[in-house]
Amino acid sequence: MKLDTIIRGGRLVTASETTRTDLGIAGEKIVAIGKDLARGAVNGATVVDAGGRYVIPGGIDVHVHLELPFCGTVSSDDYDSGTRAAACGGVTTVIDFAIPYGEESLQQAVDNWHARAEGKACVDYSFHVAITKWERHKKEVKKMFDQGLPTFKQFMIYEKEGWQSDDAALYEALETLSGLGGMLLVHAESSRVLDLLIERHHKPAEMKKHGAYLHTITRPNFVEAEAIERVIHWTRVTGGRSFIVHMSTAEGADLIKNARNDGVNILAETCAQYLVLDDGLFAQKDGHLYATCPQLKKPADQKRLWAGLRDGEVCSVSTDTCTFTRKQKSMWEGDWTKIPMGMPGLETLLPVVYTHGVRKRRLTVNQFVDKCCTTPARTMGLFPRKGTLAIGSDADIAVIHPTLARKVDFKNMQTHCDWSPFQGWPLAGFAEHTFCRGRQIVRNYKFVGRNGYGQFLPRSLT
Ligand code: URP
Ligand code: ZN
Ligand code: ZN
Q: What is the pLDDT of residues 191-236, one digit of tens each?
A: 999 999 999 999 999 999 999 999 999 999 999 999 999 999 999 9
| Cα 93-99-100 angle, rounded to 5 deg | 150
Helix (H, G, I), strand (E, B) or coil at 192: helix
Ligand 1 atom with the shortest distance to the CA of 97: 9
Of all residues in the chain, the percent with pLDDT exceeding 70 is 100
Cβ distance 214 to 336 under 8 Å?
Answer: yes
Q: Directed axis angle between helix 221-238 and helix 167-180, to 10°?
A: 50
Cβ distance 405 to 426 under 8 Å?
Answer: yes
pLDDT at 378 over 90: yes
Task: Give me ligand 3 centre to Cα 64, in Å.
Answer: 6
Q: What is the pLDDT of residues 99-155, one digit of tens each?
A: 999 999 999 999 999 999 999 999 999 999 999 999 999 999 999 999 999 999 999
Task: Give me ligand 2 centre to Cα 22, in Å.
Answer: 40
Mutate to test the pocket of ligand 1, among 341, 343, 417 (most ligand atoms within 8 A of CB): 341
Beta strands in 324-452 (DSSP E): 397-400, 406-407, 426-427, 431-436, 439-443, 446-447
Residues present in the chain in total: 462
Q: How many Cα atoms within 13 Å fall on the side-chain side of residue 250? A: 10
Label residue 40 by pLDDT band (50, 70, 90). Answer: low
Mean pLDDT of 77-101: 98
pLDDT for the residue 174: 98
Q: What is the pLDDT of residues 160-175, one digit of tens each?
A: 999 999 999 999 999 9
Mutate to test the pocket of ligand 1, among 62, 63, 65 (most ligand atoms within 8 A of CB): 65
What whole-number distance in Å separates Cα of residue 281 and Cα of residue 298?
10
Of all residues in the chain, the percent with pLDDT exceeding 90 is 98
| Residues near 203 by beta carbon (within 8 Å), at least 6 away in sequence | none
pLDDT at 41 over 70: no
Which residue's CA is the nearest one to ligand 1's atom 9?
Answer: 320
Q: Directed axis angle between helix 221-238 and helix 191-201, to 10°?
A: 160
pLDDT at 460 over 80: yes
Task: Give me ligand 2 centre to Cα 295, in Å.
Answer: 10
Task: Give me ligand 1 centre to Cα 104, in Å.
Answer: 20
Mean pLDDT of 264-288: 97
List residues near ligand 1 (CB under 6 A).
Answer: 65, 187, 292-293, 320, 322, 341-342
Ligand 1 atom with the shortest distance to the CA of 341: 1
Which residue's CA is the nearest one to ligand 1's atom 8?
Answer: 293
Task: Give me ligand 3 centre to Cα 385, in Å.
Answer: 25
Q: Indicate whether this model's pTM tops 0.85.
A: yes
Of the candidates 339, 368, 213, the residue with the CA atom closest to the CA atom of residue 275 = 368
Which residue's CA is the nearest one to ligand 1's atom 4?
Answer: 342
Task: Kindly tell me the sign of the dihedral angle through the C-alpha atoms of 148, 152, 158, 161.
Answer: positive
Cross-strand partners of 130: 153
What whole-number distance in Å separates Cα of residue 96 and Cα of residue 296?
22
Mean pLDDT of all residues in the chain? 97
